[in-house]
Amino acid sequence: MSATGITVMLADDQAMIRDCLRLILEDQPDISVVAEAADGAEAVVLARRLRPDVCLVDIQMPGLDGIEVTRALAGPDVAAPLRVVVVTTFDLDEYVYGALRGGAIGFVLKDVGPDLLVEAVRAAHAGDALISPSLTLRLLRRLSAIAAPATRAPAQPLSDREFEVVRAVARGRTNQEIAAELFISLSTVKGHVSGIMTKLGLRNRVEIVAWAWEHRLVD
């Protein structure tokens, strides 16, 4: 976070949408919009140059679409990935799946309301994942149905406590909620999450959720 708070880049081809998003976000004392892009190529250039804390990216844009922008800024081959939240009007499985597999840390619909949008930005900045509730169950069922668990076995075995944390993360619990449920400190939860990602070779909570569903650890 910069001295001015959480810095955000907006990428959307509609100026009116960018204006609305800016008004919502800059109404918060800890969030400032530092850049706006009207197409995907511009978004990639600005994000790489300015390195905002969070990038809000629309799916359908001229040039590079939102999924291509996400891969360019946060994909598996990116050495220093940025935190991308995809914001769209399109509630389509292929978009959600493509964005999250491309490295997005969140996916929210434009009609979720200002509170959830702000929450998504703060969650992304904190390294947490936020997906619109209406999408979560459908997305995870799809991940579970198409995954191949045998290809993603952990390099090191998880402890019983780490499995408990994985299941809690997969159920959408925040770090604070996990700490309360397991009667452990918040710092201990963060340590477990970090250790889990290291052992599994994952980069964020979305990938922990996907791994849990691939391995049938949640119903």
Share above pLDDT 70 across residues of the chain, in percent, rounded to a whole number: 83
Q: How confident is the model at residue 150 (pLDDT cuts 50, 70, 90)?
A: very low
Q: What is the pLDDT of residues 131-145, one digit of tens each?
A: 655 555 555 555 555
Residue with tokens 């939102």: 66
Q: Rounding to the nearest 10 degrees, give the CA dihedral for residues 131, 135, 138, 140.
A: 0
Q: How confident is the model at residue 76 (pLDDT cuts 50, 70, 90)?
A: confident
Residues written for the chain: 219
Determine contact, residues 31/8, Cβ cutoff 8 Å.
yes
Count of other CB atoms within 10 angstroms of residue 173: 17
Q: Which one has a higher pLDDT value, 135 or 205?
A: 205
Interval 7-16 mean pLDDT: 96
Interval 176-203 mean pLDDT: 89
What is the gyration radius of the CA atoms in the chain, in angstroms?
Answer: 17
